[in-house]
Chains A and B, each alone.
Chain A
Amino acid sequence: MKRFVFLLVVLTMLLAACAPSVAISQSAATNPPVTADAPTVAGELDLNNWDSVLAAAKGQTVNWYIWGGSDSINAFVDNFYGVALRERYGITLNRVPLADTADAVNQVLSEKQAGKEIGAVDLIWINGENFFTLKQADMLYKDWAQQLPNSQYVNWENPAINLDFGNPVENMESPWSSAQFQFIYDSARTNANELPRSYAELKDWACAHPGRFTYIAPGPGGFLGTRFAKGALYEVGGGAEQWLNFDQALWDQWSPELWKYFNELEPCLWRNGETYPKDESELVNLFANNEVDFSMTNDITGAGRWIADGRMPKTARAFVFEKYMIGDFNYVSIPLNAPNKAAALVLANLLLEPEFQAAQILPENGFGLGYAIDVDRVTDKTAQTALQNAAAKLGDSATPASDLANSLVGDSAAEYPNLLEQGWQENVLQK
């Protein structure tokens, strides 16, 4: 009893002792303190004078918040961009690896909440959902993407580029690469003639081979799983274009069908669908270790990056369904409170350099995603040839370009992924 009283005394003391500090920080929150030595950053970079941007960037460190789940992508970023930034522009690259891009968004938003005018994040490799979040919060640096010198190579007329998840890009993010959803199988294990070519066939295949298929749980970190489920939604709803704009009635009409599809699929899945791999890497391990027969990828090089990485057997190959293989571009964006905007701009521009675009799709370089630029817009003949040669060297483990093109559809409006992930949790996972 005596000690219990002690504990109570302790707690009261703790609360009493700390009350004033809260009062102080409350007032601090309403009037964010102006730090004297804060470098002035907002607004005065002259993007029309690129040399002045380069001069401002020199000596800066660019903090690039980037998904860090792939070692080969990490190495590519360090070895290609990191080296070039240092040697050509005198910029240091600080790659901040993230488990989920949402963590970077969280960082920026907490800074906003804390009233920090100078943040920590300079550049984010961002996806449509998080772009949408930051745009809504008004925390994105504006009017820059089309001012980059290399933006001339980007086909901004293309709706697949000027819309990100159906959300207008509005000069607030710059493309880096392109990707398309595909499946991966092991040619040593599965006969190419027996591969399913639609979601309906996939269900039949799965139930004919119980426990040999699973998909990534749609949700945070499970971006490919969301994309897989969206493809199913397209097939169930009979079309892709209708999903480009958000329409609640349309969702209400087709989502029950989607849950029905997944719930019928579930008993045939790996571990009877009791659990799902939570990200791409986990599915790759299941596939490589013969627990399941298919994996998924977004890479233009198909299984190439994974083979080069020693994560998949050399006999792994990519394949697509006949329809509804969602493809899109991915982007980088700069937070409004980025401390080193000039360096971030230089890096964003470097990403679009034809030389680096050609390097990024080669399987042996470990990045594996496609071009963001339009090869025809590159006027320099050598650069254009390099780009064309690289595209021709994707290897056996990639899906043939014609198959990719025939099955390609665009992504949906940004509202759907959230609905889908939440609905999947409630109607499929927790059922």
Chain B
Amino acid sequence: MSRYNQMKHTFTYTLRILLYLILIAPLLLFAAYAFSTRWFFPQPFPVEWTMGTFQRAINDSRTLSSMAQGVWIAFLVSILSLILALPTARVLGLRKFRGRQLAWLLLFLPTVIPPLAVGMGLNILFLRIGLAGTITGVVLAHIIPTLPYTIFTLSSAFARFDENYEYQALALGASPWQIFLKVTLRMMTPSLVVATLFAFLISWSQYLLTLLIGGGQVITLPILLFSAASGGNPSIIAMLSLLFVAPPVMVIAFTARSLNQHGNEIREQY
């Protein structure tokens, strides 16, 4: 029996290693291309290693500013989605009321209407009201795909939320603001973190909406990567890919556990 257990243990262990290998295989592939040059068919491994691409990417103000811009946009998007989602999610998670289903449907719509149509439709409107090509315009557009997921994540957390804690705090003389900060927010922290991170990631990796609303003036990493990837220099493509996946990889690594609860909800936007 113990022998069987040991075998089983070894098997699970091997499986785990294998899965983690698959996880890092793309990273290894990118690293091999990013830090080599003149690596042509049929050499099975890079022959000429170089830091040149990395240095060029770091010294290229484009790369850095696109990353900074992407982070800034994603930050604004996640904060805004959170602010918009909190009251909505609370009501949807805790209350039963007439038209609740309708509200769900309306908030669910953005996940159905393709970003292509949204971006193309908003293009002229934003041009006319001066939002095209601005960070504000891009942030607004990004909220469309992030909001439903923030709401879904938070509302399922509110569904498990016990309001009695708030009443107890109220009975003990806490002000509404104190209750919100010290009780509600604190109890919701894990879900809030997950919701924020994924709003951040959805915005960070958004290509079409940024392209259509940013009109070449708001440049984020996906825009650079896409234009490099359509046939370009493999080293640069791989370097940009590495920079592009760095935040998601870190987020996934840190939130691995809570992902098992929420991961599936956001997957489709990716």
Contact = CB atoms under 8 A, between A and B. Distances in A.
- Tell whether any CB of A sits under 8 Å from a CB of B in the complex: yes
Interface of A: 3, 6-7, 9-10, 25, 28-29, 63, 65, 68-69, 71, 74-75, 78, 95-99, 103-104, 107, 110-111, 113-116, 120, 277-279, 281-282, 285, 288-291, 309-311, 313
B125 interface: yes
A98 B235 CA distance: 19
B134 to A, nearest CB: 10
A95 B233 CA distance: 19
Given A3-B105, A10-B102, 18 more contacts: A6-B101, A9-B102, A29-B128, A65-B216, A69-B231, A74-B62, A95-B62, A97-B62, A103-B216, A107-B215, A107-B216, A110-B123, A113-B127, A114-B127, A278-B231, A285-B231, A289-B41, A310-B50
Contacts of A120: 133, 215-217
Given A120-B133, A279-B230, A313-B38, A111 B127 contact: yes
Contacts of A107: 215-216
B128 A114 contact: yes
A6 B130 CA distance: 34
B105 A6 contact: yes
Contacts of A310: 37-38, 48, 50, 52, 233, 235
B109 A74 contact: no
B250 interface: no
B105 A110 contact: no
Interface of B: 37-38, 40-42, 48, 50, 52, 56, 60-62, 101-102, 105-106, 109, 123-125, 127-130, 133, 215-217, 219, 224, 226-228, 230-236
A277 B231 contact: yes
Contacts of A115: 128
A310 B61 CA distance: 21
Given A65-B216, A69-B227, A74-B62, A110 B124 contact: yes
Given A7-B105, A99-B227, A25 B128 contact: yes
Contacts of A10: 102, 105-106, 109
A133 to B, nearest CB: 17
Nearest to A94: B217
Given A69-B227, A290-B42, A309-B233, A74 B60 contact: yes
Nearest to B223: A97
Contacts of B224: 97
A346 B175 CA distance: 62
B223 to A, nearest CB: 9
Contacts of A28: 128
A225 to B, nearest CB: 12
Most buried by B among A28, A63, A71, A99: A71
B231 A114 contact: no
